[in-house]
């Protein structure tokens, strides 16, 4: 027994790209059902959803409107439209049954994902979605009306146009050694000059005029902690995802803290260290991503970390070096792929959604409610 194949394979694939809304898909479905019915045929319409929590109000309304002339009793056929889902996303499945005979129609559609909600407390941790895309994001930076997205193989600059970000220009650093798995990247803005650290290059460009990357394979020290007086000369270990800064132990991220360092070491512990590497306190396992930000009220300093799965916390450390949550954690579903200080009052959290195969950048900050 063999396989016979006709038609165009790859050209059929764009048919699976979903750009229509639920309403558009329902209207399209109604049109095709209508075209398949005879002049005097009428249908009894049923709608359902395979998701018990799903709503089909929009679907019902659109179908009732689009098929109104066909919905007069007595019905000569039944039309059941089901809200389903496949690997590409949501899908409407229409079964048209006339006695023993049946036919079906399929109409995919698109649906946006909700943003995370911030918890409510006197000190409130907030995360605002800045950008989402399928390609990995290493860091993201907003500079006025421009947004720079650092990807493993590309630097993309977007310009704000009518409440949307439009790609202005993209440039690829010169190919060098292979990008390591779990690549690190960092963007820093100095006046109108952007510096982009990648595992195999340090690239610089101006935001004015056409973007012209100047890249050097010598990356030097990475700006781990943002604009603090205390700097940590850290270099990325080649072909790896962690830093070294002797006399500190190897680490993934670090934050300056009252003349000391909070370090997420590769050994699995988060530690408070003196600048000479002496351990002041072992703080437990905070994961691998930490960053320090200020709250606008009183300019208190806090640490951001993902101590529990799917949540981001703001943590204060008291005089006895004991950590405690300073605000209600916020839900951030997915893997925290990177956490960098953006400015003194915020950090950029890059989340990887394994279920949706997307990366999202959130600006995380603290607000003070009265």
Which residue, 233, 148, 131, is CA-closest to 190?
A: 148
Candidate segments 65-73, 211-219, 222-230, 237-245, binder of another protein by CB under 8 A:
237-245
| Of the residues 20, 71, 75, 106, which one makes contact with another protein according to CB under 8 A | 106
Min. distance of Cβ 101 from another protein in angstroms? 12
Min. distance of Cβ 262 from another protein in angstroms? 15
Candidate segments 163-171, 203-211, 315-323, 330-338, binder of another protein by CB under 8 A:
330-338
| Of the residues 31, 36, 126, 180, which one makes contact with another protein according to CB under 8 A | 180
Quick one: DSSP state of residue 352?
A: E
Min. distance of Cβ 216 from another protein in angstroms? 20
What is the separation of C-alpha 140 from the centre of its chain, rounded to a whole number of angstroms? 11
Distance separating alpha carbons of residues 292 and 315, to the nearest angstrom: 9
The footprint of another protein on residues 21-80 (CB under 8 A) is: 49-51, 54
Min. distance of Cβ 22 from another protein in angstroms? 10
| Of the residues 2, 38, 69, 73, which one makes contact with another protein according to CB under 8 A | 2
Which residue, 287, 291, 289, is CA-closest to 343?
A: 291
Q: Which is nearer to another protein, 15 or 229 (CB)?
A: 15
Is residue 324 within 8 A of residue 314, CB to CB? The reply is no
Q: Which is nearer to another protein, 32 or 294 (CB)?
A: 32
Q: Is 211 exposed, middle or buried (0-12, 13-18, 19+ CB in 10 A)?
A: middle
| Of the residues 309, 321, 331, 368, which one makes contact with another protein according to CB under 8 A | 309
Distance separating alpha carbons of residues 31 and 38, to the nearest angstrom: 13
82 makes contact with another protein (CB under 8 A) = yes
354 makes contact with another protein (CB under 8 A) = yes
Helix 57-66 vs helix 22-36: crossing angle, to nearest 10: 40
The footprint of another protein on residues 119-178 (CB under 8 A) is: 175, 178
Quick one: DSSP state of residue 238?
A: T
DSSP element (H, E) containing 214: strand 214-216
CA distances from 344 to 205, 207, 229, 303, 365 (A): 23, 22, 12, 12, 10
Which spans of this chain sit near another protein (rule: CB under 8 A)? 1-10, 12-13, 15-17, 49-51, 54, 82-91, 93, 95, 104-106, 108, 111, 175, 178-183, 239-242, 252, 266-268, 285-289, 306-310, 334-336, 352, 354-357
């Amino acid at each position: 027994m063999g396989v016979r194949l006709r038609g165009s394979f790859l050209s059929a694939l764009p048919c699976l790209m979903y750009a229509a809304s639920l309403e558009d898909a329902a209207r399209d479905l109604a049109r095709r059902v209508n075209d398949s019915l005879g002049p005097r045929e009428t249908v009894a319409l049923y709608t359902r959803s395979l998701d018990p929590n799903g709503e089909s109000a929009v679907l019902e309304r659109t179908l009732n409107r689009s098929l109104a002339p066909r919905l007069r009793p007595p019905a000569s056929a039944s039309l059941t439209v089901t809200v389903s889902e496949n690997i590409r996303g949501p899908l409407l499945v229409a079964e048209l049954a006339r006695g023993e005979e049946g036919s079906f129609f399929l109409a995919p559609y698109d649906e946006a994902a909700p943003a995370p909600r911030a918890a409510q407390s006197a000190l409130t941790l907030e995360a605002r979605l800045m950008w989402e895309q399928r390609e990995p994001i290493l860091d993201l930076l907003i500079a006025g009306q421009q947004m720079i997205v650092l990807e493993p193989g590309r630097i993309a600059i977007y310009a704000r146009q009518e409440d949307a970000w439009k790609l202005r220009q993209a440039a690829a650093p010169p190919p060098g050694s292979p990008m390591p798995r779990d690549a690190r990247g960092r963007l820093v803005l100095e006046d109108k000059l952007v510096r982009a650290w990648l595992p195999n290059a340090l690239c610089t460009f101006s935001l004015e005029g056409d973007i012209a990357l100047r890249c050097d394979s010598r990356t030097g020290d990475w700006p781990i902690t943002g604009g603090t007086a205390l700097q940590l000369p850290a270099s990325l270990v080649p072909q790896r995802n962690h830093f070294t800064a002797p006399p500190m132990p190897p680490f993934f991220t670090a934050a300056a803290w009252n003349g000391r360092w909070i370090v997420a070491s590769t050994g699995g512990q988060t530690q408070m260290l003196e600048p000479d590497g002496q351990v002041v306190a072992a703080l437990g396992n905070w994961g691998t991503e930490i960053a320090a930000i200020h709250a606008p009220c009183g300019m208190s300093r806090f640490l951001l970390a993902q101590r529990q799965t799917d949540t981001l916390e703001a943590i204060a450390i008291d005089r006895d070096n004991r950590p405690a949550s300073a605000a209600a954690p916020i839900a951030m579903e997915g893997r925290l792929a990177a956490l960098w200080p953006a400015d003194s009052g915020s950090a950029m959290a890059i989340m990887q959604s394994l279920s949706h195969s997307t990366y999202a950048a959130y600006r995380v900050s603290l607000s003070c409610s009265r």
